[in-house]
Structure 1
Amino acid sequence: MYFAALLARTEDGWEASDTELDDVETLSDLADLAREHREEAEADDDTVLVFIEQEDAWFGVVRVDGEEDPRVYVSDAAAAARSSYGEILLTDEMLGREPGDDGADELDALDLDGTEDGEDSADDEDGEGSDDAVPAGPLGDTEILTDLGVSEKNLLSLESGDALSEIAEILGAAEVLETVR
């Protein structure tokens, strides 16, 4: 199960809205969606946060500041790579790949759970999963929320499941996030 929300800061505090990502295919599309939300919310601040999570598997935070390139943090890149929404966040630059070398041949052979068609989801002989192209664990800008009160150490210590609620609590946006959940 997925959850996605947009948060923008207005004169009355944070405003949150849930969002559908069905028409979002790239990080650029997601940034455009965030900018549209900022305008609709008549935000006082140029910053819009996008929260995305797949229940108990991974979460991601995208920060869009004005017209700057979006900043991204993903709690578990390998888990996110097996998700259509996670793939939006994992850009070639983040993964250290050349543009166009997206590992699509490898990923196309995988089911959404990361196993090849008809294959068990058990780990390989070395105890690692089969997708070497995407590292397991956190990836991206670990200082994405530092100026908003969420330290790098705090962000890295968050567990999937409650992470977005904990971040929202620190931001002072817990109530508005819960209303759209």
Structure 2
Amino acid sequence: MRRSQDAEFEAFVRRHRAQLVGTARLLTAGDAHLAEDLVQTTLVKVYLAWGRASQQPAAYARRTLVNCLTDHRRRPFFRREQGADSLPEAPVEDPAMVDPELVAALAELPPRQRAAVVLRHVHDLSVDEVADALSCSTGTVKSQTARGLDKLRALLTPTQLTGDSR
């Protein structure tokens, strides 16, 4: 019995881990290291709850990922952390990274708006699915998404929005 559940979970991880990391990177405004940590924590929690999660594992994992991010931001060390003006070393370019201008614009959004926009428009989830993932009402999802898109429109130039490079 346990081996079949482990095989199911392993197949789920192989199929969805990259997407979870991508979502986490967008939710963390491009922080690749935090995204990896959040996905790892998410996968541990999904594994421990596989009996419940196996019905809709992708939705369960997305909700768990958002909850892990919320938990991380509530920790005391998060509030005490001090940012530096410059990095101690040059970052390594990641070819799989999403457009840096988009990530920078997403970083300007509050976490709740960022999560609503990413889940709604990057992952093309319905309003109900996003509401379930964020543990809020559909009206909240709609308002957070609308506000987030308005702010993104103000931050990005028209050529960035259309992808037109003329």
Q: Does the pair score TM above 0.5?
A: no
TM-score (norm 2): 0.28
